[in-house]
Structure 1
Amino acid sequence: MKDYLENYITAHKSALDSIPVEEVEKLILHFRKALEEDRQIFVFGNGGSAANASHFITDLGKGSSDKTYRRFRCLSLNDNVSWLTAIGNDYAYEDIFLRQLENYARPGDTVMVMSVSGNSPNLVKAIEWCNQHNIFTVALVGGKKGKLAELASQVIVVDSTHYGRVEDCHMHICHMICYAFMEREELSNQ
C-alpha cells in the first residue's frame, strides 16, 4: 500500500507540474477585467467538476469578493437542483446548462467549464451557444482535451487522464485564481 500511495503522490506532482502557469495568469487577468466591467461569471461541470464549480464560486463570491473593491458577480449553474431536473426532464440532459445561460448570460460575460474528458455533451452544447452569443469561454480539461479544447476561447490543460488528479489540479487552479485576488493588492484595488 505504501508504494501505491507514494506512486500516487509522484503522479499527482507530475500533474500539478503540468499546469500552464502563463494560462492561469491570463485567466486571472481576464477575471480582473470581468470584475472591472461588472460582468457575470458562470462556472459549471459534471460530477466531481460540478462540486469543484460550486466550491470555486463559493471562494470567488465570498473570499475573493471580501478583498476586492467590488464584488464578483458569479454563479455555479450546478446549484439549482430543481431547475436542473426540470430542464433535464422536460427538454434533455444536454440542455441543463444551455437553458440556464439563455436566461442569464449576456454578451461580454464569461463561462468557465471543467471537464476531465473535455467531451461532456451538455458542456459542449453550452460552449457552442456561448460562442454564438459573444460570451468568453474557458475550458479546464484533462490530457485528452476533447471537443471543449477545440471550442473554448481559452483552454487550460492538465496533462493527465486520471480523473482524481485532473479534478484536484482544476481545484488548484481555482484556488490560485481566488487567492490571487485575496493576496495580491494590485488585483483587488480599483
Structure 2
Amino acid sequence: MDKAKEYLGLVKQTIDKLDQSAINAAAQAFLDAYHKGGNIYVFGNGGSGATASHVAGDFLKGASYGLDKRFKMICLNDNIASMMAIANDIGYEDIFIEPLKNFIGKDDLVIGISGSGNSENVVRAMTYAKDQGVKTLALSGFNGGKISRLADISVHADVMDMEVCEDIHMIIFNIIKKEMQATLMGDNPSMGKVYDDRVS
C-alpha cells in the first residue's frame, strides 16, 4: 500500500507540472493536420510503442467515428515485417525514418514518443521530418532528451520514472482526443451513443 501511495503521488505531481500551453499546441497540430488532410505518424519503442499503437487506434475509431472526414493516423511500429526487415538489413536505428521516406508529405504531423527523449531511431525520424519542413511533436520524460529540443512542439513529463512517464503520455493523448471530439463532434460525440446502446 505504501507503493500505491507513493506512485499515485508521483503521478499527481507530474500532472501538476505539465505545461498546458504545450498540450494546447499539440492539440492544435492535430487539428491542423486533420483540416489539411495530412497524415499523422506516431512511433516509439517498448511501452512508448504501445502508447503509439493505442493512440493510433483511438484516432482511427474514437476520434473519427461518425465524421465524414476522418483522422489519418499511422503507427509506424505496428508493421512488424517492415521493422524487422529494416532492422536486419539496414539497422534498428532506421526503423522509423525509412517508412517516413515512403509516405511523408508537407501537411503531415510526425509524433515521436521516447521516455528518455534520446532513442536514436526516434531522433533520426524526427530529424528527417524537420529537414523536410514537416511539423513535429515530441513526447518525452526524464530530462526531455534530444527530441524535446529538436521538435516544433514538446510535451515533457517532468519525472524520473519510466512508468509514470508512460502513464502521463497516455493521459496527454486522451486529452487531445477529447479536445478533437469536442471540436469536431460537439460535447456529445456519436461514439457515446454506440457505448450506451451496447450497455442497455
Alignment TM-score, normalising by the size of structure 2? 0.89
Could you tell which deviates more after superposition, 123-132 or 66-75? 66-75
Give unpaired runs (5+ residues) of structure 2: 187-200
Q: CA deviation at 1:21?
A: 1.5
What is the alpha-carbon distance in structure 1 between the residues aligned to residue 23 and residue 114 of structure 2? 16
For the 8 Å contact 2:37–2:107, the answer to whether it is kept is no
Cα deviation, 1:18-53, whole Å, max 9, x if unaligned, reads 222211111112211111110110000000000000
RMSD of aligned alpha carbons: 1.3
Evaluate the alpha carbon distance shift between residue 69 and residue 29 of structure 1 in structure 2; reply closer, same or farther with a 3 A threshold.
Answer: farther
Aligned to 1:8: 7
Moved over 3 A (4+): 186-189
Q: CA deviation at 1:93?
A: 0.4
Alignment TM-score, normalising by the size of structure 1? 0.94
What is the alpha-carbon distance in structure 2 between the residues aligned to residue 187 and residue 26 of structure 1? 17
Evaluate the alpha carbon distance shift between residue 34 and residue 188 of structure 1 in structure 2; reply closer, same or farther with a 3 A threshold.
Answer: farther
Q: CA deviation at 1:67?
A: 4.5
Query: Percent of aligned pairs with the same residue?
Result: 35
Output aligned runs, 1:34-183, within 5 Å. Answer: 34-182=33-181
Give unpaired runs (5+ residues) of structure 1: none
For 1:118, what is the secondary structure of its paired residue? coil
Q: CA deviation at 1:117?
A: 0.2
Aligned AA (1:41)? I
Cα deviation, 1:44-70, whole Å, max 9, x if unaligned, reads 000000000000000011100115441
Larger relative contact order, structure 1 or 2 (CA cutoff 8 Å, min sep 6): 1
What is the alpha-carbon distance in structure 1 between the residues aligned to residue 144 and residue 26 of structure 2? 18
What is the alpha-carbon distance in structure 1 between the residues aligned to residue 185 and residue 36 of structure 2? 14
For the 8 Å contact 1:119–1:148, the answer to whether it is kept is yes
- The number of residues matched between the two structures is 186
For 2:6, what is the secondary structure of its paired residue? helix
